[in-house]
Amino acid sequence: MSLLSLEQVSVAYDNRLILEDFNLSLAKGQLLSLLGPSGCGKTTTLRLIAGFLNAEAGAFMFGGKDYTKVPVEKRNFGFVFQSYALFPHLSVFDNVAFGLRLRKLKEAEVKKRVTRMLEIVSLGGFEKRLPAALSGGQRQRVAIARALVIEPDLLLFDEPLSNLDANLRVNMRVEIRRIQQELGITTVYVSHDQEECFSISDQVAVMNNGKIEQLDKPSAIFKYPASEFVARFIGFGNFIAFDGRNDMGSDIELSRGALKFQAAKRPEGLGNTGLLGAIRPDDLQLFGEPGAAGIDGNTLPGTVQISTYLGRSYQYQVETELGVFTVNQEMEQPFVQGQRVTVYFPKEKLVLVQ
């Protein structure tokens, strides 16, 4: 039973449709990420849910009620903005207390709740500071505390970590996930950083051009992208367009002209159609001599074009009769430019997408 659902929603700016017939649903207590390239409509979706934007068509249901026409202030959703949007003229305490005071709580109760919430985000002792006197990470935590303290029915995050440095981002995303799970708050989280999305979400929706291309558990998306777009977006850098497929048992036999390849079938329910093979640079393997031990099939002979050092591994561009493949491989003695090699496509790692 889903808590939130967008049903056939369309949103337009100046008569330009950004979302069209958009559908999304989310169960109580879950954290859903919207992941996608810049301009694909993530913020638009979030603003629609928050009530900052009106839908041209369709309905937004929440907790079994029609929220389409409910004004922002009646929704009781917490929103954490990319820019934090802290009130610059109010202290940390007054920022966090803002929503509680609007709810006409007694001042003693306000103080109790604000103090507790500031403890949760590790900002005890910062009550009197103005936002201008805080670091980026501290501001971010005030913004979270301010959204959480009203005990929202839904929490919305719009790229809350994009202004922070790399280390702090990792710490804060763990923190956000901890608080979200501890309080069991249903959350929609927007980001264009896939690692961030995968690490904190129960569900990830990969968006492209105002549409959801795939909605699934992070691990399922990571291993089994549904479409070429999703595959590219999450790092499947190599593609082979096959011209025939033949499902046999647990494997699929693929052909491209006279060449034959094998791919393992996906687990049930993860989509198994398509003729485009995709594989990550990390999953390809290179061998110096043809016909390495224990490997027959799923190989292509090729020539190393470019070799670069990535730190953990070397990256090679290998030219074959099916085009250029990118391979990341950890090794002591790197292959050199012009060397003849064999590219091996492990069948469990080769996935088929639409």
Partner 1 sequence: MNKKALYLLLPGLLFLAAFMLVPITLTIASTFVQDGKLTLEGYLHFFRDGYFNRILLTTLRVSVVTTLVCMLLGYPAAYYISRASARKKSILLALSIFPLLTSPVVRSFSWMIILGKKGLINSFLVNIGLIDKPLDILYTPVAMMIGLVHLFLPLIIITLLGVMENLDHELVRAARSLGASPFAAFRKITFPLTVPGLIIGGILVFVGSLTAYTTPALLGGKERVVSTFLYQNAMTLNDWQAASVIAVIMIVITFVVVGLMNAWANRLNPKG
Ligand X SMILES: Nc1ncnc2c1ncn2[C@@H]1O[C@H](COP(=O)(O)OP(=O)(O)OP(=O)(O)O)[C@@H](O)[C@H]1O
- The footprint of ligand X (CB under 6 A) covers 13-14, 18, 36, 38-44, 192
Contact 109, 140 (CB under 8 A): no
> Coil, strand, or helix at residue 181?
helix
Q: Which does 63 bind (CB under 5 to 8 A by kind): partner 1, Mg ion, ligand X, none?
A: none
Cross-strand pairs, 60: 6
CB of 238 to partner 1, least distance (A): 41
What is the distance between the alpha carbons of residues 23 and 218, in angstroms, rounded to a whole number? 19
Residue 87: contacted member of Mg ion, partner 1, ligand X, none (CB under 5 to 8 Å, by partner type): partner 1
In this structure, the strands spanning 154-158 and 77-80 are parallel
First to last CA, the chain: 30
Q: With CB under 5 A as the contact rule, which of the stretches 39-47, 111-119, 220-228, 247-255 interacts with Mg ion?
A: 39-47
Smallest gap from residue 44 Cβ to ligand X (A): 3
Of 12, 59, 85, 183, which lies in the binding site for partner 1, with binding defined by CB under 8 A? 85
**β-strand 154-158 against 187-191: which pairing, if any?**
parallel
Interacting span for partner 1 (CB under 8 A) from 84-92, 219-227, 272-280, 316-324: 84-92
Verify binding: residue 324, partner 1, rule CB under 8 A.
no
Q: How far apart are CA 183 and CA 29, in angstroms?
A: 9
Task: Round to whole Å and give the CA distance between 90 and 233.
Answer: 41
Residues touching partner 1, count (CB under 8 A): 30
Q: Segment contacting partner 1 (CB under 8 A): 90-98, 230-238, 248-256, 276-284?
A: 90-98
Q: Identify the DSSP state of 12.
A: E
Which uninterrupted H or E stretch holds 247? strand 244-248
* Alpha carbons 155 and 137: distance in angstroms, whole number: 19
Instruction: Look up tokens 């901890």; give the residue.
Output: 178
Q: Which is nearer to partner 1, 150 or 230 (CB)?
A: 150
- Residues 140-169 vs partner 1: string with x where CB under 8 A? ------xx--x-------------------
DSSP H or E segment with residue 98: helix 92-102
Residue 50 interacts with which of partner 1, Mg ion, ligand X, none, CB < 5 to 8 Å by class:
partner 1
Binds 44: which of ligand X, Mg ion, partner 1, none (CB < 5-8 Å by kind): ligand X
CA 139/CA 283 separation, integer angstroms? 40
Q: How far is the CB of 250 from partner 1 (least distance, A)?
A: 50
Q: How far is the CB of 306 from partner 1 (least distance, A)?
A: 45
Angle at 155 (CA atoms; ends 149, 158), nearest 5 degrees: 115
User: What's the CA angle centered on 232, arms 226 and 235, to 5 degrees?
Assistant: 105
- For partner 1, which is the closer residue by CB, 25 or 91? 91
**Does residue 103 touch partner 1 according to CB under 8 A?**
yes
Cα–Cα distance, 92 to 114 (Å, whole number)? 10
Q: What is the CA radius of gyration of the chain?
A: 25
Asked if residue 157 lies in contact with residue 188, where contact means CB atoms within 8 angstroms, the answer is yes
CB closer to ligand X, 172 vs 205: 205
Indicate the residue type of 58. Answer: G
CB closer to ligand X, 35 vs 144: 35
Site for partner 1 in 46-65 (CB under 8 A): 50-52
Q: Binding to Mg ion by residue 191, rule CB under 5 A? A: no
Q: Is there binding between residue 43 and Mg ion (CB under 5 A)?
A: yes
When the beta carbons of 207 and 353 are compared against ligand X, the nearer one is 207
Residues that bind Mg ion (CB under 5 A): 43
Residues that bind partner 1 (CB under 8 A): 50-52, 72-73, 75-79, 81, 83, 85-91, 94-95, 97-99, 101-103, 146-147, 150
